[in-house]
Amino acid sequence: MPNRKQIKNKDIAVTGQYLGVIEEYISNEQSTYVKEGQIFATKTGMISIDDKKRQIEIETHQEKDRKTVKIGDIVIGTVVFLRKFSIGITFNTINQKIHFNSSYFGNTHVSQISNKYIDKINDAFQITDIIRAKVTKKSANEYTLSTVGKNFGVVHADCSICGTELNKIGHDKLKCDFCGNIEKRKLALDYGNVAHKLRF
Amino acid sequence: MVLLIKDEYPEKLFQENGKRLDGRDKKELRPIKMEVDVLKNADGSAYIEWGNNKIFAAVFGPREVHPHHLSKPDKGILRVFYRMATYSVFDRKRPAPGRREKEISMIIADCLEPVLFLELYPGTAFEIFIQVIDADGGTRCASTTVASLALADAGIPMKSLVTALAVGKIDGELVVDLSGIEDKAGEADLPIAITWFNDEISLLQFDGEMDLSELDTVLKDAKEAAKKIYEIQVNTLKNKYISIQNNIEKEKGGED
């Protein structure tokens, strides 16, 4: 029973309200849905129309309580798989809040690890490393992540021989104080200074 | 002394002037009052007063599934917990969830599922807790209405709101919105839930006897009455956002 009324920017839209046709606007997947060429609201909130891009979306007051992943988010996760050309990561934080046993999963391809050349994946990450990454794409139920950039990469790592925490000794080198083992990683700038205690 | 009260219903369900026992016309609804954002700790919540029914609904989610083996890798799950308070009905209701409550929980989940985008949230659970404080006929319909309002308040993407109400037949007359006595003493009782994104019926239960031609007319009446309830739902949600907008403008004015 949509009410076909002309909408304006900053109007209040209610769940299920008719917003326009697909020739008028590009719909936002998070807060609108398209049925037979017509756009409807899926959330209650303020309408925001980008006149240049012709994009329409609905702003809600719940944005700070969001518990789902959006493209462009920065997440912290644990490396659980090392493959020949990619790694698998389970997310530990979503929207800057800790999630335990979260069901979200992401992959990073070798080409998306760093700007520099990486010969083997083992030179950049190891299993059980905790890394910070950016969400770039969603494919099926899994997300594609990228660690290109100074702020992205390993924020916590354990020695692969004895399991004690590693200390930073160079821009891409870590040393174990207990057994003297030296390892190579793609490090974030704030390695070892992350406030969240993610492992327990 | 044991107080025994027999289940006695009045012989006639209509007054002499043609109105119902509570003074309503045949197609008149009971007074409805709704509120959203009433519970602090829930992600979204709503409250409804529908005649003598008083119902709270709280929504949590999307969140982890416990026990974990119930989670589905390709979509989220919706769980509804419909419970009645011990003092909500005339005889004390035993607090443990019974057969009736489990069934009503299931049908509410079934009729809300088509409007949700569960495939966007794999491995998670949406949980709706419905607490009936006071019951007087048509609690499953009122619960569905208030649950959809709480889902919208929680900011969960939905295709549209869901509205439910009961229609039926008492003393040979077709009426809308049955109260407790009419439900028990009447001839037929027909709870309906309507999803507005395609005007389809997502719940239809039937109890009693009715002609097919009567069924057609009563379904039309139900849709008209549901539109009135839908407007109350929409206005409740809108009023909340108008107050949020006013607060933001006040804060901005104070800074300048």
Per-residue pLDDT of A4-46, as tens digits, reads 677 888 888 888 889 989 998 998 888 899 989 999 999 988 8
Q: Which pLDDT score, from 0 to 100, does residue A195 have?
A: 60
Identical fold for domains A12-64 and A74-184, yes or no, is: yes
Q: Tell me the pLDDT band of B5, cut-offs 50, 70 and 90.
A: low
**In the beta sheet, which residues pair with residue A145?**
A135
Residues in A 6-25 with any Cβ partner in B closer than 8 A = 12, 14-16
Range scoring the smallest mean pLDDT among A18-27, A82-91, A96-105, B162-171? A96-105
CA distance B80 to A160: 46
Query: B176 vs B20, B204, B206, B223, CA distance in Å?
Result: 11, 15, 14, 10
CATH topology (fold) of A12-64: OB fold (Dihydrolipoamide Acetyltransferase, E2P) (2.40.50)
**Is the model's pLDDT at B79 over the cut of 60?**
yes
CATH class of A74-184: mainly beta
B130 in a structural domain: yes
Q: Are B178 and B168 in contact (CB under 8 A)?
A: yes
Q: What are the CB-based long-range contacts (under 8 Å, 24+) for A167-175?
A: A167/A192, A168/A192
pLDDT mean over A128-153: 90
Q: Which pLDDT score, from 0 to 100, does residue A200 have?
A: 46
**Is the model's pLDDT at A100 over the cut of 90?**
no
pLDDT tens digits for B18-41?
899 889 999 999 999 999 999 998
pLDDT mean over A87-116: 86
Q: Which pLDDT score, from 0 to 100, does residue A139 have?
A: 83
Q: Are B165 and B141 in contact (CB under 8 A)?
A: yes
Range scoring the smallest mean pLDDT among B37-46, B124-133, B233-242, B246-255? B246-255
pLDDT tens digits for B108-133?
999 999 999 998 888 889 999 999 99
Q: Which residue has the tokens 């077709």?
A: B174
Start-to-end CA span in chain B (Å): 71
Q: Which pLDDT score, from 0 to 100, does residue B3 have?
A: 63
Mean pLDDT in chain A?
86
Residues in A 159-198 with any Cβ partner in B closer than 8 A = none
Contact list in B for residue A15 (CB cut-off 8 A) is 152, 158, 160-161, 237
Higher pLDDT, A62 or B73: B73
B154 in a structural domain: yes
Q: Tell me the pLDDT band of B256, cut-offs 50, 70 and 90.
A: low
CA distance B238 to A56: 19
**Is the model's pLDDT at B66 over the cut of 70?**
yes
Q: Are B164 and B192 in contact (CB under 8 A)?
A: yes
* Chain B CA closest to residue A62: B155
B27 in a structural domain: no
User: Number of structural domains, chain B?
Assistant: 1
**Is the model's pLDDT at A197 over the cut of 60?**
no
pLDDT mean over B59-73: 87
What is the CATH classification number for the domain harbouring B99? Answer: 3.30.230.70
Give percent above pLDDT 70 in chain B: 96
Q: Which pLDDT score, from 0 to 100, does residue A132 have?
A: 92
SS3 assignment, position A30: coil
Q: Residues 6 or more apart from A27 whose CB is under 8 A from it?
A: A19, A33, A34, A39, A56
pTM (two decimals): 0.80
Start-to-end CA span in chain A (Å): 51
Eight-state DSSP code of residue B20: B
Q: Are B85 and B131 in contact (CB under 8 A)?
A: yes
**Is the model's pLDDT at B8 over the cut of 80?**
no
B218 in a structural domain: yes
SS (H, E, C) B166-183: EEEEECCEEEECCCHHHH
B144 in a structural domain: yes
**Is the model's pLDDT at B44 over the cut of 70?**
yes
CA distance B68 to B65: 5
Eight-state DSSP code of residue B121: S
Q: Which pLDDT score, from 0 to 100, does residue A108 have?
A: 94
Question: B219 vs chain A: nearest CA distance in angstroms?
Answer: 16
Task: Indicate the domain borders of chain A.
Answer: 12-64, 74-184
Give percent above pLDDT 90 in chain A: 36
**Is the model's pLDDT at A65 over the cut of 80?**
no
Task: For residue B181, give both structure tokens.
Answer: 């006595």
CA distance A126 to B166: 61
Asked casually if ipTM beats, i.e. exceeds, 0.90, the reply is: no
E strands present in B135-221: 162-170, 173-176, 188-195, 200-204, 207-208
E strands present in A66-176: 74-82, 86-91, 93-94, 97-98, 105-109, 130-139, 142-146, 153-156, 166-168, 173-176
Question: A180 vs chain B: nearest CA distance in angstroms?
Answer: 41
Flag whether residue A106 sits within 8 Å of chain B, measured between CB atoms. no
Mean pLDDT in chain B?
90
Which domain covers residue B163, as residue numbers? 32-255
pLDDT mean over B204-227: 92
**Is the model's pLDDT at B175 over the cut of 80?**
yes
Q: Using CB atoms, pick whichever of A12, A42, A100 lies closest to residue B241.
A: A12
Secondary-structure breakdown of chain A: helix, strand, coil percentages, each rounded to the nearest 5? 5, 40, 55
Q: Tell me the pLDDT band of B2, cut-offs 50, 70 and 90.
A: low
Note whether B161 contacts A62, CB cutoff 8 Å.
no
